[in-house]
Structure 1
């Protein structure tokens, strides 16, 4: 008779819980029990974020970033050149830290994350928008990961690989490793482009966050930076993949 008694008790307990909920009451918990997921405090989600999810400082900085230039002003500035446009590669089949996989090889795309159909289309659309809007591009610099240089090739028809844009081979980073990534990528972000043109960089999330404190999300997002000639830069705007055609 043990199993039937437990079933009856369970039904009664569920009924009591439902009754309390309907009346606006709360079920009691023992003092040594952890609160349920529903009652646990969570970090307020950034605008447009997923409710209840805890966000890192870099994710909040990305969500709260305010454009200094937008619309016609941004397009005009880009057409005049002098900017670095940092793209996080376009959409991939799935998002995981393949750089930490010991089986991953930079010269073998089959061991890496790949662009999915959306990512391929995003890349082509970005390139078409740059052509239509007459945004001049000089160098196109990418990491050695296939998803980065393929984004560049589909968008701009060329790329120049630079290992300084590669991940360090870890899923989680120490403060020293973050500083190493910052030191690797910052010279690329601060280098002045050729007069009248822009530099395009196609890289990854963690390196950009290391240099700016901003985690670039979603995949395919770009940040427009203006080097100041003194080793620094100004962040002007961020642009989603489908926003280039609307400038």
Structure 2
């Protein structure tokens, strides 16, 4: 049974100050995957800040869709399928030091103007990479937004990345319908593009673009969705995984 995303996040918050290795947070208690009874602010902590309806007293539609999502595959079945290739794996970047909206003031190429990965986030990214190497999950392209927290997550996990500005936020805190439509139009082609035969594509981006394209707000930070393009311009969401769940796929 998968762990509650919200419970994992609570543990993450408590461990951040003392975490010194990835093993510090692997041994979590097993809990229910159904987190609909967890207060929304716990699920939404670590968000992009000012971009989703985080911190409120009720779930937004995107947060509820994330809480309600049920895996179509998991465990060894999912691992075996990933090893055959054909998937797009969309990661929300790993945890950052602070939570605030930086898309208006951020300067691309200048990490000091942006939110940065926390020590915990660095370890999340490294854990993801360790799992991919351990299980020989094939990866072709690794695509990241131009924000430092995204491409650094990609580089720490996979040792390489290609930046793509189409994964960046619009320069606004409150998005218009046109901006949401633009985010969707930019991400959908990436989610529907078939990877090379026998390979998977990795995308490291942000919450609001994924919500614009799928209706799901991916929380907490570090959460990944496994996407199956159908070759006809559509896709199916297969599973979501927290950073530490990758290492447990073969168990």
Fold similarity call, TM over 0.5: yes
Q: What is the TM-score normalised by the length of structure 1?
A: 0.79
Contact 1:221 1:240 in 2 (8 A): yes
Q: Within the alignment, does 1:100 sit opposite 2:104 as a pair?
A: yes
Q: Within the alignment, does 1:120 sit opposite 2:122 as a pair?
A: yes
Return the alpha-carbon distance in structure 1 between the equivalents of residues 40 and 191 of structure 2.
Answer: 30
TM-align CA RMSD: 1.3
**Residues 117-170 of structure 1, C-alpha deviations (whole Å, 9 max, x = no match):** 000000001000000011100000000000000000000000001111000011
Alignment of 1:7-156 (within 5 A): 46-50=36-40, 53-101=57-105, 104-156=106-158
**Residues 88-131 of structure 1, C-alpha deviations (whole Å, 9 max, x = no match):** 00000011110022xx2111001000000000000001000000
Q: Where does residue 218 of structure 1 map in the other structure?
A: 220
Return the alpha-carbon distance in structure 2 between the equivalents of residues 237 and 80 of structure 1.
Answer: 16
Distance 1:119 1:100, change over 3 A: same
Distance 1:49 1:80, change over 3 A: farther
Return the alpha-carbon distance in structure 2 between the equivalents of residues 73 and 48 of structure 1.
Answer: 28
Paired residue total: 201
Tell me by how many angstroms 1:50 deviates: 4.1
Return the alpha-carbon distance in structure 2 between the equivalents of residues 168 and 69 of structure 1.
Answer: 34
Return the alpha-carbon distance in structure 2 between the equivalents of residues 80 and 172 of structure 1.
Answer: 40
Tell me by how many angstroms 1:46 deviates: 2.1
Structure 1 residue ranges without an equivalent (≥5) = 1-44
Structure 2 residue ranges without an equivalent (≥5) = 1-34, 42-55
Larger Rg: 1 or 2?
1
Contact 2:40 2:59 in 1 (8 A): no
Return the alpha-carbon distance in structure 2 between the equivalents of residues 107 and 50 of structure 1.
Answer: 33
What SS does the aligned partner of 1:131 have?
helix
Contact 1:47 1:63 in 2 (8 A): no
Contact 2:125 2:157 in 1 (8 A): yes
Q: Where does residue 37 of structure 1 map in the other structure?
A: none
Q: What is the TM-score normalised by the length of structure 2?
A: 0.78
Query: Structure 1 stretches (4+) deviating beyond 4 angstroms?
Result: none
Alignment of 1:176-195 (within 5 A): 176-195=178-197
